[in-house]
Structure 1
Amino acid sequence: MNEHPRLTSLAHGGGCGCKLAPSVLRELLAGQPVAQAFPQLLVGTETSDDAAVYQIDDNTCVIATTDFFMPMVDDPRDFGRIAATNAISDVYAMGGRPIMALAVLGMPIDKMPPEQIREILEGGREKCLEAGIPVAGGHSIDAPEPIYGLAVIGLCHASELRRNADARSGDALILTKGLGVGIYSAAIKKGALDADGIAEMVASATTLNKIGPEMAKRADVHAITDVTGFGILGHGLELARGAGLRLRLDQAALPLLTRAAELAEAGFVTGASKRNWAAYGDEVTLPEDLPEWRRHLLTDPQTSGGLLLSVAPEAADEIVAQLHAAGLPLATRIGTVEAGPAGITVI
């Protein structure tokens, strides 16, 4: 009989739901020096983008990012796989290709056996191998709650760099994965998600966003970001603020995990979903009759979620077909980019 505690019982939060609320993060970063003193730093903290980008020469940019969190599943190997997939995604979201990773590990060694921690590391290594990169080192500490993730380095051609701030008025918006990971994780915490539901969530969260660099080769793909802990609204707002434009999202078009709506209506939501809305709700216009549970689908924190693409409207159908052919069957056109004050209107 396995007497080890459930991984999710060792953490107060899980996955990208552990992220600080967007309003708290903006407050902490307020007043930080502007990076323009370093002209080769093409992307810093200015637009809340997915990774930092430093230009080496006319052709080559280095992409650097780190991402780590506490477990939102109980299987240690799955935790490692999800955390690694999520961290690598930041490089893909910039249009880059990862070249190596460093492990970030904090474990309560008095509560977890070594074999369980090894499984976490092995899960991360497995996804790095799938991405074609080594785990070249890392750092570990004894911590009160289990934490795992990666620092990832990637490369891209300067012409293929895709920021989250370069959307254009008239663009179509495409989302590549279904929403509902946070809702599923809330159900897991309460023992209310069956094996099929867990498998669906893990399959989504361990699907590498490796289509990002292919999208970045297309001139008709103007902006890319990945949707993680701030939900589709939060990361959509980052795109809107960066471009100084307004997004119009069709809630009926949003792709969802199979049971996401059912579980949200039953009350399985995360604390992060509520914090997200409190942080940015004044920048979002919702239909007056929208039920609260449907709003939670919009603020649900995604762990290792999909890419949000802003593309030329005439190319949208072709791009959706390309995404489907690449193994992303839920990729869907979800809205448009319009002139107007930065923010989001949900219809």
Structure 2
Amino acid sequence: MKEENNKVRLTTMSTKAGCAAKFGPGNLAKVMAHMNLQERKDDPNLIVGFGTCDDAGVYKIAPDYALIQTVDFFTPIVDDPYTFGAIAATNALSDVYAMGGTPLTALNICCFSTGLEPEVYAEILQGGLDKVTEAGAVVLGGHTVTDNEIKFGVSVTGYVHPDKVLTNGGARPGDVLILTKPIGTGVISTAFKNNIIGEAEMTESITSMSTLNKAASEAAQKIGVNACTDVTGFGLSGHSYEVAAASNVNLRINLSELPVMTGVLELIEKDCIPGGGYNNRNHYEKWVEFEGDVSETKKALVFDPQTSGGLLISVPKEKAEALVEELTKRKTLRSQIIGEVLPKAEGDKYITYYEGKAE
């Protein structure tokens, strides 16, 4: 984090923070239901479109080269302008990594208020630029509009070999599920925004949100995995559902094995839950089963909207140990096995959460 800018608290300039500012999944589904959406399935070069709610689109432009395209932007999740820019860029770059790709170029998306000093916006842009550069990509420019609520993000173009694309629809029964970052950023950000915690308690979350998923993606590509997605605004349950639905399987997740940021469970018990968490639960809970005696605290946790979260990876069981070793060697944050993939019978839920050891 760069030296704190004491002139303004960016988080006070918006009603929601980070990926919790996403349009709710239920509301989005209602909008999409009114549209006449037709994927160009007749286009042989379209590898991944919007049909499976994947992290990015993939389009083949040569036999050995495909473009990955994605866009993401949101309101401030921290007060420091430089750190906000870095987190926003890290979050957008994650979509390319989730597809098994390499970032190539980026375009800034800037919604700026005229009420702040230009140095504040320069720091936001610098934070984003530095993260894009760390990823090995190039910022080509961008676009700005005036907005009372500050928003920043980037549109990223990456590349991947057409035969090596990772999608959320490849999970297979017998696979093991691995998560590469701890969860809880939505709860922590809400607590900070409401002055329940201070900057010191934000350190773990900031480190996680500003860590690229590059190493985790490279490890997954080296070992070979069946499916991958990143965990962001729709929470662990929302993005797990997208994997399960696209793969037509059941994901069985052990709540005792979930990596959780320090203090998050205690904050949830104090009703420190972001609005996006309630939106996620209202929409995704119908596809979720809580097996046994699961606390309301843990239930709220799995719907918590994440900003720049880790990768959720579905890997063949025989490769799971090697992948964990590779992730550890590459110094990812807290990669660990959290569950398994099971066949889904008709009428089954898509996600099953349980506490403790499997029977």
Q: TM-score with structure 2 length normalisation?
A: 0.93
1:288 CA drift (Å): 4.8
Alpha-carbon separation, structure 2, partners of 1:138 and 1:329: 31
Distance 2:6 2:289 in 1: 49
What pairs up with 1:25-104 in 2 under 5 angstroms? 25-30=28-33, 31-104=36-109
Matched, 1:330 2:337: no
Q: Which moved more, 1:21-30 or 1:141-150?
A: 21-30
Q: 1:102 Cα deviation (Å)?
A: 0.4
Tell me which residue corresponds to 1:343.
350
Q: Counterpart in 1 of 2:184? A: 180
Superposed CA deviations along residues 188-226 of structure 1, whole A, max 9, x for unmatched, are 111122333211111000000002542453464010100
Aligned pair 1:136/2:140, yes or no?
yes
Per the alignment, residue 206 of structure 1 pairs with 210
For residue 281 of structure 1, give the secondary structure of its aligned residue in structure 2. Answer: helix
The code of the aligned residue for 2:351 comes to I
Q: 1:36-88: per-residue Cα shift (whole Å, max 9, x none)? A: 13221111110000001001122111000000000011111110000000000
Query: Once the 2 structures are TM-superposed, how far is the Cα of residue 2 of structure 1 from its aligned partner?
Result: 7.2
**1:7 counterpart letter in structure 2:** L
Alpha-carbon distance in structure 1 between the residues aligned to 2:301 and 2:170: 26
Q: Note the C-alpha offset of 1:3.
A: 7.0
Q: CA separation of 1:212/1:55 partners in 2, compared to 1, >3 Å: closer, same or farther?
A: farther
1:10 counterpart residue number: 13
Q: Which residue of 2 aligns with 1:246?
A: 250
How far did residue 327 of structure 1 move? 1.3
SS at match of 1:282: helix
Aligned-residue RMSD, C-alpha: 1.6
Identity of aligned residues (%): 41
Residue 268 (1) aligns with residue 272 (2): yes
Q: What is the alpha-carbon distance in structure 2 between the residues aligned to residue 345 and residue 201 of structure 1?
A: 27
Unaligned runs of 5+ in 1: none
* Aligned equivalent of 2:25: 22
Aligned to 1:280: 284
Match of 2:357 in 1: none
State the match for 1:321 in structure 2. 325
Q: Structure 1 CA distance, aligned partners of 2:272 and 2:80? A: 21
In 2 relative to 1, CA 212–42 (structure 1 residues): closer, same or farther, beyond 3 Å? Answer: farther
The separation in 2 between residues aligned to 1:8 and 1:28, in whole angstroms, is 28
The 3-state SS of whatever aligns with 1:53 is: strand
Contact 2:288 2:349 in 1 (8 A): no
Distance, in Å, in 1 between the alignment partners of 2:16 and 2:326 is 36
State the 1:290 CA deviation.
2.0
User: C-alpha distance in 2, partners of 1:329/1:274?
Assistant: 27
Contact kept in structure 2, 1:215 and 1:221, CA below 8 Å: no
- Separation in 1 of the partners of 2:304 and 2:328? 24
Asked whether the 8 Å contact 2:215–2:332 carries over to 1, the reply is no
CA contact (8 A) 2:216 2:332 kept: no
Say if 1:297 and 1:257 are closer, same or farther in 2 by CA, change over 3 A: same
Q: Is the 8 A contact 2:223 2:323 kept in 1?
A: no
* Aligned residue type for 1:275: N
* Distance 1:44-1:129 versus aligned 2 partners, 3 A rule: same
Q: 1:107 aligns with which of 112, 118, 123?
A: 112
CA separation of 1:7 and 1:200: change in aligned 2, threshold 3 A? same
* Preserved CA contact (<8 Å) 2:216 2:327: no
Contact 1:241–1:342, Cα closer than 8 Å, also in 2: no
The unaligned stretches of length 5 or more in structure 2 are 355-359
SS in 1 for 2:226: strand
Change (3 A) 1:156 1:212: farther
Q: In 1, distance between residues paired with 2:31 and 2:109?
A: 22
C-alpha contact (below 8 Å) 1:97/1:213 kept by paired residues: no
Mapped to 1, the partners of 2:30 and 2:201 lie a distance apart of: 37
Contact kept in structure 2, 1:84 and 1:124, CA below 8 Å: yes
Q: Given residue 28 of structure 1, which amino acid in structure 2 is its aligned partner?
A: V
CA contact (8 A) 1:78 1:120 kept: yes
Offset from partner CA, 1:248-286 (integer Å, 9 cap, x none):
010010001112122222221101001100011111001
Q: Which residue of 2 aligns with 1:237?
A: 241
